[in-house]
């Protein structure tokens, strides 16, 4: 085992390796060779790609003697599908209580959240994200308030595109949140920022609110600034995926791992690398060294998440420009609710800016950003103010897009 692993992590890794016995996916020679080593190290294990997971999950990863239909009939597992942001959707399974348990374990790695939770398993939350997939529950039809209330969670938003919501619908959402008195908002950052702007226009605050949790997709400095300005509470990012669970929680600006859930590696000793995830706690999906599809950077104080590999742009000198690198150019800008930067095959790019105030041309922001982004890309950047930016089929929004040739 790698010398950097703690005794607890080493024991968890051995247990995870033990779970592969009799599992069809691991019966192939390349895996058997690695697993038969006297003391296999993390780096001895093959990587599992998203395509492999898509092809074999969930049946190919179930332990010997387990049948998916039987597990579902007995109410032992949840079966969900990923959003498909990085390609076609993947089917995954996990135990009924697994998602909530490992989410809480990640959250309480943040001392502020640990104090709020205390001994409680959950806190009351209001969820605002794409209705295509909210946590482990996915909705495809209009539901009433009772149907959207699950334990301590109220799922508020039911629109894929928040920018098309009318004032009446936003007013109803705000009333639901106020009546629910949540301790926190659990938001997709785009949905959360747009809801915050409505609340700002009408002078609305929620006295029960202690923090805002962002996840589901990359949180821009623009979205964070809006929510902090409007609600006056900390905005804390939680990172993970349906396949792996919750992996990193923000603490004082850096992302800290949740070692009880997974072991993390990067493909680079220094600087930017791809994240590899070895999960430890889901016996129905013992993913070892999973290529999650995101760029990260490991620093002495924790991780920096840079966004999806597929969303990275290219500078004129051939270097990678991640979503995080692009997004830093927007720090300190005002008047922008959302944006998308689309790079063309020739290296030039078009910047779409959605203003906070309807009809705002954002001329000052356009001049600043086209200059700054043009410097980063080493190519021409044009910009325009728009009234709508649409999400992907998954319901998620992409801040940076590299167009195919």
- What are the structure tokens assigned to 125, written together? 């939350």
pLDDT confidence tier of residue 1, bands split at 50, 70 and 90:
very low
Contact between 390 and 338 under an 8 Å Cβ cutoff? The reply is: no
Residue 14, pLDDT score: 83
Is the pLDDT at 286 greater than 90, yes or no?
A: no
Secondary-structure breakdown of the chain: helix, strand, coil percentages, each rounded to the nearest 5: 30, 25, 40
What is residue 339's predicted lDDT score, i.e. its pLDDT?
A: 98
Judge: domain 312-402, CATH 3.30.70.20. no
pTM to 2 decimal places = 0.92
Mean pLDDT (whole number) for 243-265: 93
pLDDT digit string, tens, across residues 2-49: 445 777 777 888 888 888 888 999 999 999 999 888 887 888 899 999
Cα 276 to chain centroid distance, Å, stands at 15
Give the sign of the dihedral formed by CA 375, CA 376, CA 382, CA 385.
Answer: negative
Alpha helix positions (H), 232-329: 323-327
Pair 122, 152: CB distance under 8 Å: yes
- How far apart CA 73 and CA 69 sit, in angstroms, is 6
Mean pLDDT to the nearest integer, 366-395: 95
Residue 348 has pLDDT above 90, yes or no: yes
Tell whether domain 1-310 is in CATH 3.40.50.300: no
Given a cut of 70, is residue 76 above it in pLDDT?
yes
Res. 140: pLDDT tops 80: no
| Average pLDDT for 217-222 | 97
Integer Cα distance of 184 and 113 in angstroms: 11
Q: 195 φ, ψ to 5°?
A: -65, -40
Domain definitions of the chain by residue range: 1-310, 312-402
Mean pLDDT value across the chain:
91
Tens of pLDDT along 112-139? 999 999 999 999 999 998 875 444 444 5
Strands (E), 44-201: 77-81, 91-95, 125-128, 149-150, 153-155, 184-187
Q: How far apart are CA 43 and CA 8, in angstroms?
A: 18
Distance in angstroms (rounded) separating the CA atoms of residues 219 and 223: 7
Q: What is the pLDDT of residue 138?
A: 47
Question: What's the pLDDT tens digit per position in 172-219?
Answer: 999 999 999 999 999 999 999 999 999 999 999 999 999 999 999 999
Q: How far is CA 321 from CA 86, 231, 308, 309, 350, in A?
A: 18, 32, 11, 10, 15
pLDDT at res. 87: 53
């Amino acid at each position: 085992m790698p010398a950097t692993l703690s005794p607890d992590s080493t024991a968890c890794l051995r247990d995870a390796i033990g779970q592969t016995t009799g599992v069809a996916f691991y019966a192939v020679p390349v895996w058997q060779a690695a697993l038969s080593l006297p003391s296999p190290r993390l780096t001895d294990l093959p990587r599992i790609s998203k395509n492999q997971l898509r092809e074999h999950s969930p049946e190919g990863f179930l332990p010997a003697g387990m049948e998916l239909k039987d597990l579902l009939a007995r109410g032992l597992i949840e079966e969900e599908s990923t959003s498909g942001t990085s390609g076609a959707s993947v089917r995954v399974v996990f135990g009924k209580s697994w998602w909530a348990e490992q989410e809480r374990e990640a959250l309480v790695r943040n001392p502020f959240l640990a104090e709020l939770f205390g001994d409680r398993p959950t806190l009351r939350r209001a969820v605002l994200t794409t209705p295509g997939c909210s946590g482990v529950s996915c909705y495809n039809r209009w539901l009433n308030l009772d149907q959207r209330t699950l334990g301590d969670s109220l799922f508020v938003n039911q629109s894929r595109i928040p920018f098309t919501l009318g004032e009446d619908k936003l007013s109803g959402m705000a009333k639901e949140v106020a009546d629910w008195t949540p301790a926190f908002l659990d938001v997709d950052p785009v949905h959360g920022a747009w809801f915050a702007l409505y609340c700002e226009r009408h002078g609305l605050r929620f006295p029960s609110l202690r923090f805002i949790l962002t996840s589901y997709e990359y949180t821009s400095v623009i979205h964070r600034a809006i929510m902090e300005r409007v609600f006056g509470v900390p905005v804390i990012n939680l990172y993970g995926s349906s396949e792996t669970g919750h992996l990193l929680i923000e603490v004082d600006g850096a992302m800290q791992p949740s070692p009880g859930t997974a072991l993390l590696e990067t493909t680079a000793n220094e600087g930017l690398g791809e994240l590899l995830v070895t999960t430890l706690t889901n016996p129905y999906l013992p993913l070892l060294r999973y290529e999650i599809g995101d760029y990260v950077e490991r620093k002495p104080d924790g991780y920096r998440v840079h966004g999806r590999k597929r969303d990275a742009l290219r500078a004129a000198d051939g270097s990678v420009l991640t979503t995080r690198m692009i997004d830093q150019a927007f720090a300190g800008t005002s008047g922008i609710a959302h944006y998308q930067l689309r790079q063309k095959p020739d290296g030039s790019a078009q910047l779409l800016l959605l203003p906070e105030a309807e009809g705002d041309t954002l001329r000052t922001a356009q001049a600043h950003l086209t200059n700054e982004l043009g410097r980063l890309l080493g190519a021409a950047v044009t910009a325009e103010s728009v009234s709508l930016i649409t999400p992907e089929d998954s319901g998620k929004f992409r801040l940076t897009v590299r167009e195919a040739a």
